[in-house]
Chains A and B, each alone.
Chain A
Amino acid sequence: MGSAELLQFAVAGLKNGSIYALVALGFTLVFGSTGIINFAQGEFFMLGGMLAVFFVKLGLPLPLAVVAGVLATAVVGLAFERVALRPRRDSGPLALIIITIGGSMVLRSLSRHAFGGNELSLPAFTEGASIVVAGAAIERQALWVWGLTIVAVAGLSWLYSKTRFGRSMRACSLSHEASRLMGIDTARIVMVSFGLAAVLGALAGVVVAPLTQTSFNVGARIGLKGFAAAILGGLGNPIAAVVGGLALGLVESMSIAFISSTYKDVIALVLLLVVLFVRPEGILGRATREKV
């Protein structure tokens, strides 16, 4: 196998991996502030793409439609938190997870009612042939995927480490009770983190839609991949989510290259299980000790 081909496999893996990473960032953000896994995260991905297509059909120019799709999804995310999750914010994580599962069912089904069961297309952000680097072709939309991932990680890292709000978020992830006593408005933190998670999911959804088209039922599968990526990296840390996403994407494409395309998901999942059994907190996760 030539080096150009190897590079091509790496490009494919990194492209898919970045998509997983963007979705994983949403998981990790909500986990960070609430301690729950948001099973509706994949539906934010779906909504971003579907709403952007909807706005294009309304006649909005593409850039505006993309922004509108992302913002509309953010509104859905905020509303979902406010209406469905906040009333039970003090219960255990299991109850909240079930709410997100119910939410994902409703969002997916509503999207089918509104936009139908067929796949819909969104134009590429920038037209043109792919760029060839050292024999490997890179499509232009992939550059958007990578660019957005970098912006998202940089933004989140800045938010977490440099802003007062971000520090409150981190405090929140350690202990809601203590944060509240410190005068942190935990309700607001949780709501904002849901809004941001929706934005991240929707961004991934709109940037992927030109590559793959989109439909009402794309959320579950991408949600699963994003969750796997977040877990693989270690929950609660944006860098870890990206590492997890890229690792997952690369493992998949290398499995296709060297083993079998049929079993690529099995190989990736087995590897994930092995990582979990060896490092139960993920690659970059911090070990936590249970207190009595």
Chain B
Amino acid sequence: MGRKALAIAMATVLCVAGLTLGGCSDESRSDSSGLEPYKIGVVVSLTGSYSGLGVPEKKAIELEAELLNEAGGINGRMVELFFEDDATDAAKAAAAATSLIEREGVIAVIGATGTGQTMAMRTDIDRAAVPQVSMAGGSVVTADFDELVFQTPWPNRVVVPFTLNALAAKGITRIALISDSGGYGADGHDVVLASAAAAGVEIVADETFNLGDTDMTAQLTKMRSQSPDAVLMWTAGSEAAIVAKNMQQLGFDVPLVGSPGNGRVEFLDGAGSAADGFSFAAGKILLPEAYGEGSEAFTVATEFIDRYTERYGTAPDIFAGHAYDAFLIIADALGRVDGDVTPAALRDAIEATDGLIGVGGTFSYSADDHNGLSETDLVMYRVDGGQWVLDE
């Protein structure tokens, strides 16, 4: 047995254990040249199951911070970013928040990618009273209200009524619901059941599936026996394409309606021809002309899309958009802080955000609304020939 190899392997393990004891004192470095930069922490899922979401988020924030710094920063001060990967793990997100706040001394935290990770950071956010802008869509993020926590995606409690009203307006009232049992699906599911009556629609079937399931024909067969007017699907991952394809295979020929989480190229790729006719509500970033060409929102969105596409070779998805907005909200608030920039002053400035045009919509926060978007920021899309077009 190779003693040397063994020793090396052991040494690696012991090194790691040993080094941790030495790794306690890493005082924040101060820039010698003029003013210190604003330190902003970012917690995203770069590994683990949300890495497909977290990676574009990181890219968008890096790109925007660079642009801002090249233009001279805010109030003559640069922005310095500190990224932490939560590995799609709540415990790691909590640890990341501690690290950013305690070790780096950030004045605000952007993140996390997922709802569970966002909630896990709250203990530290509250203790240190540092504002947090989350890119996760779960209702609980702002519904379980915390004066420090803000959110950029369109929340289900806005999107669901908008979608149901759009369906009702078309005379679609008998709706079969299928949702995933994960966070996004379960959240949407609850909001749909709660807001169906107000929208004048009836939920005639209610089925779920698990993330990672490979086939939903059993659920769809059961739903078909209720002869609904349309199928409403609330899920964001690859399972959405399976539902679309399974419906096509079954010849289950009623409209399929989805959620903003389906505004992804991967869905179009996966569902292929089965995506034709699929409709969903989302913000206007997918087709900026929805803002009306020449409008300020149109310019903001197209410039971001062009910049991102030029840098990374792919168009930004909605998650990159949520991240853009999160960074924009903090940068904008930093510019409006009078006097000393403390986390408390920054929080107040974020809450005072009013009519800020991002790519996901126009944000206006208030003391009791930390989501800031409304139905006017949404529009219905339809898939036609493998592309999104505006519905109607």
Near B by CB (< 8 A), chain A positions 216-236 give 217-218, 221-222
Which A residues lie within 8 Å of B241 (CB)? 121, 212-213
Q: How large is the interface on A (under 10, 10 to 19, 20 to 34, 35 or more residues)?
A: 35 or more
Q: Quick one: given A117-B51, A117-B52, A215-B52, are A253 and B249 in contact (CB under 8 Å)?
A: no
A112 and B51 form a contact (CB under 8 A): yes
Complex CA–CA separation, A129 to B248 (angstroms): 8
A130 and B249 form a contact (CB under 8 A): yes
Complex CA–CA separation, A128 to B49 (angstroms): 32
Q: Quick one: given A5-B225, A212-B214, are A137 and B249 in contact (CB under 8 Å)?
A: yes
Q: Quick one: given A211-B245, A218-B212, are A256 and B55 in contact (CB under 8 Å)?
A: no
User: Which of B51, B54, B207, B239 is in CB contact (< 8 Å) with A256?
Assistant: B207
B214 and A261 form a contact (CB under 8 A): no
B217 and A261 form a contact (CB under 8 A): no
Chain B 230-248, CB-CB to A under 8 Å as 1, else 0, gives 0000000111011001000
Chain A nearest CB from B191 CB (Å) reads: 17
User: Which of B52, B207, B214, B221 is in CB contact (< 8 Å) with A118?
Assistant: B52
Chain A nearest CB from B211 CB (Å) reads: 8
Which B residues lie within 8 Å of A130 (CB)? 249-251
B215 in contact (CB, < 8 A): yes
Binding site of B, secondary structure by majority: helix, strand, loop or mixed? helix
Chain A nearest CB from B91 CB (Å) reads: 17
Which B residues lie within 8 Å of A19 (CB)? 214
Q: Which residue of A lies closest to B212 (CB)?
A: A221
Q: Which residue of A lies closest to B265 (CB)?
A: A118
Which A residues lie within 8 Å of B238 (CB)? 119, 212-213, 215
Near A by CB (< 8 A), chain B positions 243-290 give 245, 249-251, 266, 269-270, 272
Which A residues lie within 8 Å of B218 (CB)? 8-9, 12-13, 252-253, 256-257, 261
Chain A nearest CB from B99 CB (Å) reads: 22
B208 in contact (CB, < 8 A): yes
Which B residues lie within 8 Å of A208 (CB)? 214
Complex CA–CA separation, A1 to B239 (angstroms): 26
- Pairs A-B, 7 closest by C-beta atoms: A117-B51, A117-B52, A221-B212, A119-B238, A256-B218, A118-B52, A253-B218
- Which chain A residues have a beta carbon within 8 Å of chain B's beta carbons? 1, 5, 8-9, 11-13, 15-16, 19, 109, 112, 116-121, 129-130, 132, 137, 139, 208, 211-213, 215, 217-218, 221-222, 252-253, 256-257, 261-262, 265
